Structure formats: structure tokens, C-alpha cells
A and B are shown apart, each in its own frame.
Chain A
């Protein structure tokens, strides 16, 4: 499993893996927002937590189809499926690799972009914390979506249609936590709820993803 994790991360980081794409996308979204809503610092600082969350979510979405697509095309997914590892484990490792190569860099980049959006000082810690808690859920849910659409030729748009509604609870709790943190309010409730969503999806969704993948590999 560790070998698979290292392999996936290497593939993602090398040329053609699209490692930097998600990050650049995140940056561009954040740069575009002030053009859309105007450069007033007060407006930007109120919407900053939400924009950063949505940007991270979209950047995450952008890289989802890479989780299985390349392995599906060259047949290594079939090899993995017939390996002694359970498919659930493979799916979980792939989600983890996706999070390490997409989610974690987004978490680290978010506070820097927060400066651009005039995020209140109290918000930095909570924003980073909420993203760190929430992005694993985004990766796991996205893996499920990627597994659903792996066999399709033009699955990209369908993938977003399927995955985005599933992102709603994570986004609500995560953005709420970041917002409350930025306004100096108590963040306990959304923190626990977000942690609950993340733990629940990590525990249960790999089974659904593996079941879906089995159908697709049939």
C-alpha cells in the first residue's frame, strides 16, 4: 500500500501529472474575485473565507478525474484490482495520494491567498484548520465521483454535476467554521460537524467507491 501511495504521488508530481494546475487555478480564482466584486477591503474581508473555500473546492474538483483516468487507460487499474490488496484499500490510498498532492498544498497556499483577500487576522488559523479538516472529505467524496465516471469518455462535466451536490455539507460546515473564526465567534459546533463529515466519509465512502469501481471494471 505504501508503495502504491509513493507511486501515485510520484506520478502526480512529475510532468504531465498536473500537480501545479490545481494550485494555479486556486490562485487565479482568488485573483479574479476582486475584479468581480470590487477592491473594497471591507467587502473582501467579509467574503474571504467563503471565496477561499469555494476556490479550494473547485481546484480540488479540477484534479479529480486524474485519480483513476490514467490508470484506467493503460490498464494498470485492472492489475491493481486483481492484486492481493482489497479494492477498498486501493481506493483509500488513491484518495490519500490525491489529498497529499492536491488538498494539502491548497491548505498551505490558502493563508497566503488570504492576505490578498484581506482576511481578518483572527481568521488565518481557523481558515487553515477548517481546510485541513475539510479537504480530506473533498478528496474522498471526489474519489467516489471519479470511480463513478471512470469508464466514460467525456466524464469531466458529469463528474462535476455528480460531485458538487455531494460537497454541499462539507462546504457549509467548513466555510461556516472559517467565517466564525474570522469574526471571532465560537467555532466549536461547525468544527465538530466538519470533523464528523470528514471522519464519516473516510470511514464509509471507500466501500462505495470500491463497489462502483468493481462495476466499472466488470
Chain B
């Protein structure tokens, strides 16, 4: 088996060394920006004159939704790297990102429901944005289930990478199909680079901070999970070798 040969881990070793130094900083920075962003957003911004304090859930909702989509994009890029360059760390990183992205999707859906209950008067509507997030959640589930189901690591990496590519196309297609299928209740983009300002600066700044915090948190979690995957795989290789030696 090629998996047990040592030189294949040359790159992962470098990855482990580098992340060993970087990870504490990323994690600490993620903690600081999250605390600053959320505390600032929750306690030091004025209540909205129509929505009251409920509006503040935006500091969880928007960053989580953003990372839910970015996590899938990151998996797509990592899958492409794996298909083209056969870089083991990238396949493991894609695997590591999936559950994090899935949780982000769940957070976005849940906070959206909690916010929607008082404001829209309903926990759930079949609105295009909500529906496409639910579909994204299903894609995450399928992707993770396929990883779990296949025993051979390389086969699993190949198959999930192709699934990720095909799934991306279909997820995008579903997004527009859903748009076509139902008119929405969800407001349009809250943040935009276009001149027509939609959100006052006083709300926007803490939102940017907590978005950065979520992004850093995502990076930190993916790094931790990738390192765990690498170590688990090494351990399996060692155990396999020991068994071979013992026999």
C-alpha cells in the first residue's frame, strides 16, 4: 500500500510543523475578534427603531451564512487541488471543512428562524434563500456520508472530490432554480459595495469584525481538524505496519 510509505508524509509533516506555529495565533485572533465583534454588536449598538433588539442576531446570522458558503467554496478548491496535484493534505482539509461548514449552515438556518419568528411571524417560509440553504445543508450531509461510507482513503478522497465538483454545479443550479420557483420574503443583500447604503455604519463595523472572527474561527477549526485527520491516518498506518511486522 502506498499509504504506509513514509515519504508521502513529507508534505503533511511540513504542514504539521507550520500549522503548529500558526494555529495558536489564528485561534487567539479568532477568539479576540469574535468577542469584540459580538460584544460590540450585542451591547454597544443602538436598538433598531422597528425591530428592537432582535436585529442583533444579524451578528451571528450573516457571518455564519457567509462561512457556510465559503466553506463549500474552500472544499471545492481543495478538491480541485486533490484531483490535479494529488496533494493529500488538501483532500483531508476538504474533509475537515465539511462538518464545520455544515454547522455554519445550521447556525444560519436556526438564527434565521429565531429572528424570523417575531419579525416575519413564522419560523420558516419556503423562501428562495432559506430553501437554497436547506439544499446546501443536504449537500453537506451527502458529502460527509460518502466520506464515511468508503473505507479506502484514496478512493474516498477521489469520489468525494468529484461529488464536490458535480455538487457545486448542481448547488448553483438549485440556487437559481429555487429563485425561479418562489418569490422571497428574505431581504436582499445587507452589505453591498454599491453606493446605495443599506445598513448604517454603526451596525456595519461590528458586523465586519464578527465576520472576520467567523472566518478566523473557520480557519482555526479546519486546521485543527486537518491535523487530527493527518495524525489519525498516521496512526492507522503505524498500526497496520505493526500488524504486518508481528505476523
Contact = CB atoms under 8 A, between A and B. Distances in A.
A151 B174 CA distance: 28
A144 interface: yes
Nearest to A168: B174
A166 interface: yes
Interface stretch (A15-23, A88-96, A112-120, A210-218): A210-218
Interface residues of A, number: 28
Contact of B166 (A144, A149, A155): A144
Pairs of residues from A and B, 6 with the lowest C-beta to C-beta distance, nearest first:
A169-B177, A215-B158, A165-B138, A172-B177, A169-B173, A168-B174
Interface residues of B, number: 25
16 contacts: A148-B146, A148-B159, A148-B162, A152-B150, A158-B142, A161-B141, A162-B142, A162-B145, A164-B138, A168-B170, A168-B174, A169-B170, A172-B180, A176-B180, A212-B159, A218-B155
Contacts of B150: 151-152
Interface of B: 135, 138-139, 141-142, 145-146, 149-150, 155, 158-159, 162-163, 165-167, 170-171, 173-174, 177-178, 180-181
B165 A208 contact: yes
A10 to B, nearest CB: 30
A150 B149 CA distance: 12
B5 to A, nearest CB: 18
Given A166-B166, A176-B180, A215 B155 contact: yes
Nearest to B139: A165
Contacts of A165: 135, 138-139, 142, 167, 170-171, 174
Contacts of B139: 165
A67 B240 CA distance: 35
Contacts of A169: 170, 173-174, 177
Nearest to A197: B173
Contacts of B146: 148-149, 158, 162
A218 B155 CA distance: 9
